[in-house]
Amino acid sequence: MEFRAFNLDDSLMEGIESMGYTTATPVQEKVIPAILAGNDLIAAAQTGTGKTAAFLIPVLQRLLTMPHDNHKTSTLIIVPTRELAQQISQNIEGLTYYTPISAIAIYGGGSGNLFAAERKALVSGADIIVCTPGRIIAHLNMGYVNWDGIKYFILDEADRMLDMGFFEDIQKIISHLPQQRQNLLFSATMPPAMRKLANSILKQPVEINIALSKAPELITQGVFFVYDHQKVALATHLLSLGQYGCILIFCSSKIQVKNLYIALKNANMPVSYISSDLEQAEREQILQNFKSKRTKILVATDLLSRGIDIDDIELVINYDIPHDAEDYIHRIGRTARAATKGTAYTFVGESEQYKFNKIEQVLQNTVPRIALPEALGAPPPTKNSFEKPKKKKRKKF
């Protein structure tokens, strides 16, 4: 289905076409009409399905064609991370280029001047506010935020916000909103806590589910079983082959990120790293260098498993095992975006085999095994899917 079939405002269509959008994704085909009809909505959609445009386009259409106070904020979008706030803000900038709609992203980590600019936008009433919970509550506590003009309230990646402990913050934000508004909730998973949140916010919502817990079909997946001491050598070997353009490597801890970055840097790899230890300005510059391909390889924590929006990442490496199946999907979903192909490799250490097998059971899929290069030595023996790692006996003294 082409976007022109939605009969959108001409100025909005110019922005859509300038961003290269022509055909709607499945989630966009289902979500856009529901939002245009004024319904509350709860949608489960995996990463890379086009859900950001799915809610932005119909909300922008309603702002352009329906009456609202131009001096008050009309749309509030809450997201879990700074990176996602920036991504959505950039999408809005592209879509609204030919329209009079204004927007601002509000998130922590900036200077006093940035906070003052955010306050000015909140007081004067930018059409759209994209924000993280903690930062916007800091403004709410100052007493100058007036949201009686809010018509559209959007929670994106709501499950991630609950995992990060933002439930009470979200409830506090909602307490400042008018009762009459359209509510849109997007989440990759629907655990009981999510249902509880949805029931407290949404009114007779339309429910949409798109490809939950399933890896994009265009991703070629593979798993290497390794000893921990073989991981650096395997990563160096794969990267030295020169088969891939943009490469994103996920580690589960900041220490692992830093150690792998140092090892790859010592191997003369064009690599950088990003974690929450860096200042916001540094993180933004590193991401910009990666997007512009000045940096070919980026090592990151799960901070970026949902918050990075780059269409041409060719290879994702799970340097270690993510926490669960959903995190695995979000990590590898950074590649094979925008209908392109991609590759995802996972390194499974000897002590991680049981954890990875549990992920495969949840996904109901076995990831193809790949043999280690002979130069790296023999891999560890593989264990039964249901065999838990044995606990080491403590020595008695």
Render pLDDT for 283-306 as a digit per residue (tens, 0 to 9): 889 988 998 889 999 999 876 665
Helix/strand/coil percentages in the chain, nearest 5:
40, 15, 40
In this structure, whether the domain defined by 219-376 belongs to CATH 3.40.50.300 is answered with yes
Query: Do the first three CATH levels of 3-210 and 219-376 match, i.e. the same topology?
Result: yes
85-123 confidence digits (pLDDT tens):
988 999 999 999 999 999 999 997 766 788 888 998 898
Helix axes 82-95, 280-291, angle to 10 degrees: 50
Handedness of CA 49, 301, 160, 102 (dihedral sign): negative
pLDDT for 215 equals 67
Spatial distance between the Cα atoms of 19 and 272, rounded to a whole number of angstroms = 28
Torsion of CA 155, 312, 288, 307, to 10 degrees: 20
Cα dihedral 117, 120, 122, 125 sign: negative
What letter does residue 81 receive in the DSSP assignment? S
Q: How far apart are CA 304 and CA 159, in angstroms?
A: 16
> Which pLDDT belongs to residue 303?
67
Question: Tens digit of pLDDT for each residue in 301-354?
Answer: 876 665 566 778 999 999 999 876 767 887 888 887 766 789 999 999 999 998
| Domain ranges (residues) in the chain | 3-210, 219-376
Place of tokens 């919970």: 133
Of these ranges, 36-50, 163-177, 381-395, the one predicted with the greatest mean pLDDT is 163-177
- Total Cβ atoms within 10 A of residue 18: 12
d(C-alpha 341, C-alpha 312), whole Å: 9
Q: Which of 92-96, 202-206, 228-232, 291-295 has the lowest mean pLDDT?
A: 291-295
Q: Which residues contact 349 (CB under 8 A, 6 or more apart)?
A: 226, 227, 228, 231, 320, 321
**What integer best gives the mean pLDDT of the chain?**
87
Helix ranges, the chain (H): 10-18, 26-36, 51-65, 82-95, 112-124, 133-140, 158-163, 167-174, 192-201, 231-240, 254-266, 280-291, 325-332, 353-363
The number of residues making up the chain comes to: 397
In CATH, the number for domain 3-210 is 3.40.50.300
Q: Give the other-Cβ count within 10 Å of 110's Cβ.
A: 17
Q: Is the pLDDT of residue 31 over 80?
A: yes
